[in-house]
Structure 1
Amino acid sequence: MNKPRTLDEIKVAIAKRELVLPKAMEQVARKILEKPEIAAFDSTSVVACRCHVGTSTVSRLARHLGFANYRELRRVFQDHLRTQSLKTSDMRMPAF
């Protein structure tokens, strides 16, 4: 599997079973996919605490998804939220 570039690519890989995750990693994946802001802004230790797993599980998930480290994975989530924010603000802009 190639490194996903977007949050949607991560979701598709998991849904298509291209990616099989051990239970603890799946727990983290579910949580951060449900609430992308967790992965976008929290450190590995905070994510681990929220998911009731060790920090190494969060780091392993990032590598399992094809990223060099958690920081790379976090960028995908940050980009996703930035894109969502821009779409939302574009919808609120009054037409002239």
Structure 2
Amino acid sequence: AKIGIFGQPASAVPLASVKKLREQSFLDENDTVVCIVTGGGLKDTTVFENLELKIVNSRLENLNELIGSERQRIDAAASNRRGFLEN
């Protein structure tokens, strides 16, 4: 996944449960479900072990440019994801 929820594995159990319940037809695609993820992903940093880090120019005057380009990328991905979830 390129974008998602960065939660502690134990706190992600509700999300996995909803997925499994949907696969088993216990939940309909039109059902509304609320999952609360309470543990932050920084409690389990092993997820970073296989990631390739992106090196960026870290000069303060470049911060707005970097944030702007990343924000556009994230917004586009989120928009695509919303369309996928609505279909």
Q: TM-score, normalised by structure 2?
A: 0.32
Structure number with the higher helix fraction is 1
Structure (1 or 2) with the larger CA radius of gyration: 2
